[in-house]
A and B are shown apart, each in its own frame.
Chain A
Amino acid sequence: MTEVRLVDVEKRYGAFLALPKQSLTIEEGEFLVLLGPSGCGKTTTMRMIAGLEDITSGDILIGDERVNDKPPKDRDIAMVFQNYGLYPHMTVAQNIGYPLKLRGMDRAKRNERVLEIAKKVELETLLKRRPSELSGGQRQRVALARAIVRTPKIFLMDEPLSNLDAKLRVTMRAELKHLHYELGVTTVYVTHDQMEAMTLASRIAVMREGRIVQLDTPKKIYSEPIDLFVAGFIGSPSMNLIEGAVENGFFVAKGVKIPVQLADRRDVVLGVRPEDLEIVKQEGAAITAPAYALELTGESTLLTVKDGATSICVRGPADLETKIDEVCYLAPQAGGRIHLFDKSTGTRIDA
C-alpha cells in the first residue's frame, strides 16, 4: 500500500498548456476517481503517473520515491486500459501470466497463480482461448486479471467499463468495488461517468480544462458542489439550475419564489436537486409552472415543469398522475438542500 503524490506537476505539449501546475495527493489504500468531460486531462494525469507520458515540470512520488525518470516497468504499477490492451497473439493464460513471466517466475508457479486469479474472475474455462474469441466482458476480465495477478503498489484504471453494455457495467462496477476492498491497493480510476465515480470512489477529483476543480468525498461533492460546473456534472438527473435574483429574503425568478438566507443580490443561480423538491398544494407553492413531461423510472416519476426558458425537474412518487400543461406546484422539501451560485463566476455563495 502506497501513497502517490503529484507535486507542482505541469504538462505542456509544445506551447499548449495541457495541465496547469497543480498538486494532488492520493492517499494510501484510497480509491481516487478522476472525473471530468472528455479532454479535461484526466487520462493524461493518469498516464503521467504510469510513466507513459513525460511531465514538463514538477515531481511524481510513489511512496517516498521520486519516479519522474523511471520507466513504467520500474514503477510497480498495474493498469487496465480502456481498450484493454490485450496481447492478441497470446492465449488468455499467457496474457494473464505475462507480468509474472517478465518477473522471472517459473512456469509451474506461474500456472498455479494464473489459475487462481482466473478462478477469481471466472475465466478458468477460457484459459486456452485467444482474445479474439472472447466477448467484450470476458476481455475486460482478462485485462483485470492481468492487472491483479501480482500485487502492485498502485492500480490505474482508464475508463475500464466504458466499452461494456449497461447491465454488465453495473455488475463489473460492484466487482471492482469488492476487489478494491479485498486487495486494499491504492487505486486511481479515470471516468467521465459521474455514476461510476459516485459509486466507486473514496474521493473524487472533478477536473475541468486540466484543472482539478473539486477534490472531496462523493457525499461532499454531491451535497456541496463548489461551483456551477460540478453542480451540473454530478447527479442524475442533474441539478436544476435557475437564474434569478435575491430580493427581501426570497430567491425570485419567473414563477419561482423560494425563501433563502442571503442579502439582496442580482445575478444569482439557484440550484436544487430533483429529489430535494416535492409536489405540493397551491398554498405552499414556491414554484408554479405547467407540466412539460412525465417520466416513470420505476421506483419514482420524474416530472418536468417548464415556464419559458426555465425547466425544473422534480422526483415524485411512482403513482404520480398529472396531465401535460396542467399547472403544478412545487416546493423544496423540509431538510432539502438549496445551493446558491454567483452567475458570473459560477462559484458557490455560502449564506
Chain B
Amino acid sequence: MKNRIYWAIERTLLLLVSFVVLFPIFWMFLTSLKKPRDAYSITLNFQPTLENFATVFADPWNLGSMVLNSVIVAGVTVLIAVPCASLAAYSFSRFRVKGRKILFFLVLSTQFIPAVVIVLPFFLMFRSLGLLDTRIALIIVNLAIVTPFVIWMIKGFIDAIPVDSEEAALIDGASRLRVIRDIVLPMAAPGILTSSIFCFILTWNEFLFSLILTRRDAVTLPVGLVNFRTERGDLWELMSAAGVMITVPIFIMAILIQKHFTRGMTAGAIK
C-alpha cells in the first residue's frame, strides 16, 4: 500500500517536471509550423506549413550562414579540444608528477570565473588583434572555456579504467603512446565520445561571447535568434523555426550519447 502511494507520488512529480521542461519545446515545434496569424493563438487546430523554414534561410535572415558558423565553430573546437584534453586527462590520471594536484586545480579554477568578467578583456584583445567578428576568435574563446571541462570529464572516464591492462601491455612490449592508442583509447572511447558531444553542445549553445565578439560575418545560431526581435515586434513563428534548427542537432546527439553511454566497455577487464 505504502509502496503504491510512493509510486503514485513519484510518477506525478516526474510527469509534472517533464511537463514543465518539455512543454515549451513542444510549443516551439508547433509554433514553427504555424502561419504568422496563428502564432499567437493557443489552438492546436491550425494548418501546418513549412513556410517559416524557407523564410529564415532566405534574405534578409540568412540563417544558413549562421548554421555554417555554428557548425564550424563547434566542430573545430571539438576537434582541437578533445584530443588535447584526452592526453592531458591521461597524464593527470596516470602520472605522479610533482605539483599534479595544484596543476589540476588550476585547470579547474578556470571554470570558477564568470564569463561576464572576462568577456570585455577578450573583446579588447581580439579588437587589437583584428579578429573581431571572426570564427577563429570564437574558436579560441570556446577552446578556453571547454577544454578544462573536457579534461576533467575525460579524466573521470580514464580513472575508471583498471591500470592492470595498461601495465600488461607495457610488459607485452608496448610503448606508452602505443598503450594509449591500443588499450586506453578503445576502452575510453564511449567516455571520450560522450565528452565530445558534451563539448559540442556547450559550444553550440554558447551565447554571451558570440554576442559580444561577432557582428555580422561570424554570428552563430543562438545570437541569430535575437535578430527576430524586430521593430515590427517579435516574429515568434520565425524564431521558433530557428529554434528548431538549433535544437534538432542537440536532440539527435543526446540520443546518440545515451546509446553509447550505457554500454560498459570496461566489463571483463579484470577477474
Contact = CB atoms under 8 A, between A and B. Distances in A.
Do A and B interact with each other, yes or no?
A: yes
Interface in B117-147: none
A81 B168 contact: yes
A84 B267 CA distance: 13
Contacts of A133: 268
Instruction: Give the size range of B's interface with the partner.
Output: 20 to 34
B260 to A, nearest CB: 14
Contact of B271 (A72, A73, A79, A136): A136
Interface in A93-142: 98-99, 102-103, 130-134, 136, 139
Contacts of B165: 85-88
A38 to B, nearest CB: 17
A99 B173 contact: yes
Interface string B8-21: 00000000000000
Contact of A99 (B162, B172, B183): B172
Contacts of B169: 87, 98
Interface string B160-193: 0010111111111111001000110011000000
Contacts of B168: 79, 81, 84-87, 143, 146
Nearest to B164: A85
Contacts, number: 90
A88 B170 contact: no
A88 B161 CA distance: 11
Interface residues of A, number: 33
Contacts of B84: none
B270 interface: yes
Contacts of A136: 271
B107 interface: no
A269 interface: no
Given A83-B164, A85-B165, A88-B268, A73 B187 contact: no
3 nearest CB pairs, A to B: A132-B268, A85-B168, A85-B164
Interface of A: 50-52, 71-73, 75, 77-79, 81, 83-89, 98-99, 102-103, 130-134, 136, 139, 143, 146, 156, 163
13 contacts: A71-B175, A73-B174, A79-B171, A84-B164, A84-B168, A85-B165, A86-B269, A86-B270, A87-B183, A87-B269, A98-B169, A102-B173, A133-B268
